[in-house]
Amino acid sequence: MLKLDATDHPTELSKGFDSYLEGEFPKHGQKWKGCTHLYFLVCSHSHWYAVEMDIAKSTMFIYDPDRSCSTDDQIRANLKLITTILPMLLKKINIVTDALAIEQITTTSKQSNS
């Protein structure tokens, strides 16, 4: 399990991020208040993997069927911006997360086609 420290981040976000929290963006989004999990995709050097954030556990689960494409350091670097912004967004809806853990899910099936 990797530990990411998200305590060294700016103190304010622009108002544009409020549209995410209110479910106005993206189209067909939902309000974040009351959500227990967030799901998003990350692309690194043309390689995609899925991320599930369990808000209660302050943990991001990485679903990457081809671990040979990303090292732990690359994953940390890819998620640095996310681990900076997400705690700030969650704080706006009264959810405090100081540190986010990352757990690699290694049982994900590999996609057989490209």
Q: What is the pLDDT of residues 2-44, one digit of tens each?
A: 444 545 445 577 777 888 888 888 888 889 899 999 999 988 8
- Contact at 8 Å (CB) between 53 and 90? no
Q: What is the pLDDT of residues 65-104, one digit of tens each?
A: 877 777 778 888 888 888 888 888 898 899 888 788 888 8
What are the φ and ψ backbone dihedral angles of 35, each rounded to 5 degrees? Answer: -70, 145
Domains of the chain, CATH where assigned: 2-105 (3.30.310)
Quick one: 28 exposed, middle or buried, by C-beta within 10 A (0-12, 13-18, 19+)?
A: exposed
Both tokens assigned to 84: 């900076």
- Contact at 8 Å (CB) between 53 and 59? yes
